[in-house]
Amino acid sequence: MSFNFSQAALHPDDIKGCHDVIDNLWDLVRDLKEKLGTNSKNSSKRPSSEIDKPATSKTNSPKEKSKNKRKQGAQKGHNKHTRELVPIETVDHIKKCPPKRQCDCNGLVIPTGQYSRKQKFDFPVIKPIVTEYQLQEGTCSCCSKRHVGQLPDRIPSFILGPRGIALVGTLTGCYRISKRNVVALFHDIYNFKISSGSICKAEKLVSAALERPVEAAKHFIKDKQTEVHADETGHKEKGKRMWAWVAVACMISIFIIRPSRGRKSAEELLGSEFAGILITDRWSAYSWVKTSHRQVCWAHLLRDFQKISERHGQSNIIGNALIKLTNQMFRYWHKMKTGVKSRDQFEKYMGAKIPEFEYLFKRGRRCKNKKTKGTCKEILKIKEALWTFVYKESVEPTNNLAERTIRTHVIWNKTSFGTQSTGGTLYMERILTVVGSCKLQGMNVLDYLSEAVTSYYNDKQYPSLIPGKYSVAFAEAV
């Protein structure tokens, strides 16, 4: 049986209801397309999570070959980079290679005394230094009681010495090598057999040795009210969701790992009376800090603008305008940083651009798209925190410093099952604090850990993570 639509009479309310359904379906389609198009350029999603995805969008599709595309490798006219020769006095072996004695023309080759230098590097077979302690026995001449010698004071009963313990901490904490692979590495390179349980024990000893220097660094960050970069990322302990927090200031990075991603953890990281300048993203856990003491990361804002630009209608126009303004701002910022423009010129330039940004945010707040409206509304609430870097010279516009520092944990977390105990979590806090601080200060992680473990066993002054120019003033304050 056929139905003649021309004879169907629809009530106006029914027509209105159909339009509402269609509008809702379109909104749903747009939301789903937006979620499908989420990537590292328009969200906080990690670039590494996109590696295995098929090329389905412009952001992931391989670029078409261009006739003017540069070839791989060094370009014509580039400055050549060569390895510097090791000073002659530190060379282990010198082998002289004379020229051949007779020329092709049968003439005698006479040495001139001049020579060019070529150096080859090789590495020796490494073997552990073994020290044997022979605990001698004796018997009392009166009561026949048996006596056994004891290890000297400050000598650990553990199989590894201080540098061996520090090496375990360096391999697992700095180079993110699993315990099983550390066992294999000790066997392959040192021809030394060690168990996974001994690796765990070495980590506990490293953690204990780092307790005092790490706690001092945490107090320093809270006491030194300066510019602090902060960030947080996921962590797992026995499969339970937790959060690793980092704060970076004065060439020191400190880590804490807590079950919460909320304000309580942020206050523990920074101190509840924090009065410095905090550089972060827009995460709500930092909202307790006054906007006059904050700088919102513009790299994160640029991702928000990209997301807005990928929507339809007014959102697209507003998003593209914000991206254009932000790119112009960054170009001028880099000119100022390289000395092409002065600080006064930059402030004058931004004085004209800030009203343009705020005008676009207000337009976005009136936009019909709920997500665009919400984002712009939230940004306007903290607009004072957008421009701290313009008027305070020591403040950066992005939070890249904290993001680079926390990346060690992010990569470790992707290649492991997390920690399996509270002790393991505490070890990660302390070793990441040391690794991050050593990298910022250009210190050798293995040397620092060796000194820390030795100081721990000998009950001596621990090596400080606080740079010299700050340590004296901090010690006096404490």
Q: Are residues 416 and 275 in the same domain?
A: yes
Q: Are residues 345 and 332 in the same domain?
A: yes
Does 280 reside within a domain? Answer: yes
Q: Are strands 252-258 and 240-249 parallel, antiparallel or unpaired?
A: antiparallel
Q: Are residues 328 and 315 in the same domain?
A: yes
278 within 8 A of 270, measured Cβ to Cβ: yes
Crossing angle (nearest 10°) for helices 314-337 and 370-381: 40
Q: Are residues 269 and 302 in the same domain?
A: no
In eight-state DSSP terms, residue 226 is: S
- What is the predicted pLDDT for the residue at 11? 58
- What is the predicted pLDDT for the residue at 286? 96
Q: Are residues 247 and 381 in the same domain?
A: no
Does 181 reside within a domain? Answer: no
Minimal CA–CA distance to 209: which of 147, 162, 171? 162
Percentage helix, strand, coil, to 5, in the chain?
Answer: 50, 10, 40
Q: Are residues 283 and 302 in the same domain?
A: no
Question: What is the Cα–Cα distance from 436 to 217, expressed in whole angstroms?
Answer: 12
Q: Are residues 289 and 403 in the same domain?
A: yes
- What is the predicted pLDDT for the residue at 164? 95
Q: Are residues 316 and 385 in the same domain?
A: yes
In eight-state DSSP terms, residue 159 is: S
Does 207 reside within a domain? Answer: yes
Please list, residue by residue across 174-197, b when 16 or more beta carbons sit within 10 angstroms of its beta carbon and e when fewer do.
bebbbbeebbebbeeeeebebeee
Question: What is the Cα–Cα distance from 61 to 416, expressed in whole angstroms?
Answer: 30
In eight-state DSSP terms, residue 243 is: E
- What is the predicted pLDDT for the residue at 52? 53
Q: Are residues 288 and 404 in the same domain?
A: yes
Q: Which of 337, 367, 391 is the last residue of a domain?
A: 391
For residue 396, report the phi and psi dihedrals to the nearest 5 degrees. Answer: -90, 155
Question: What is the Cα–Cα distance from 274 to 215, expressed in whole angstroms?
Answer: 17
**According to DSSP H, which parts of 297-386 are helical?**
298-309, 314-337, 343-365, 370-381
Total of domains in the chain: 2
- Residue 437: enclosing H or E segment and its boundaries? helix 422-441
Does 371 reside within a domain? Answer: yes
Q: Give residue-wise pLDDT tens across range 330-350.
A: 999 999 999 999 999 999 999
- C-alpha pair distances (Å), 248 with each of 230, 253, 297, 369, 470: 6, 4, 15, 37, 15
Q: Are residues 246 and 382 in the same domain?
A: no
Chain position carrying tokens 């230094």: 129
Residues with Cβ < 8 Å from 444, sequence gap 6 or more?
438
Q: Give the structural domain span for 356.
A: 298-391
Q: Specify the CATH number for the domain of residue 237.
A: 3.30.420
Q: Give residue-wise pLDDT tens across range 308-320.
A: 999 988 999 999 9
Residues with Cβ < 8 Å from 230, sequence gap 6 or more?
245, 246, 247, 248, 266, 269, 270, 278, 279, 280, 286, 399, 402
- What is the predicted pLDDT for the residue at 477? 46
Mean pLDDT over the full length of the chain: 88
Q: Which of 359, 375, 391 is the last residue of a domain?
A: 391
Question: What is the Cα–Cα distance from 39 to 452, expressed in whole angstroms?
Answer: 42
3-state secondary structure at position 253 = strand
Say whether pTM exceeds 0.85.
Answer: no
Q: Are residues 306 and 266 in the same domain?
A: no
- C-alpha pair distances (Å), 125 with each of 95, 153, 446: 22, 32, 20
**According to DSSP H, which parts of 9-117 are helical?**
12-36
Q: Are residues 309 and 276 in the same domain?
A: no
Residues with Cβ < 8 Å from 316, sequence gap 6 or more?
308, 309, 310
Strands in 141-285 per DSSP E? 146-148, 227-237, 240-249, 252-258, 277-280
**According to DSSP H, which parts of 37-174 are helical?**
162-169
Chain position carrying tokens 């005394």: 113
Cross-strand pairs, 368: none
Tokens at 147, concatenated: 């006596």
Does 346 reside within a domain? Answer: yes
Q: Give residue-wise pLDDT tens across range 103-125.
A: 999 999 999 989 999 999 998 88
Q: Which residue numbers in the chain have pLDDT < 50?
A: 5, 55-61, 475-478
Minimal CA–CA distance to 255: which of 289, 288, 231, 287? 231
Does 307 reside within a domain? Answer: yes
350 within 8 A of 329, measured Cβ to Cβ: yes
Q: Which of 369, 391, 413 is the last residue of a domain?
A: 391
Does 73 reside within a domain? Answer: no
Does 32 reside within a domain? Answer: no
Q: Are strands 146-148 and 137-139 parallel, antiparallel or unpaired?
A: antiparallel
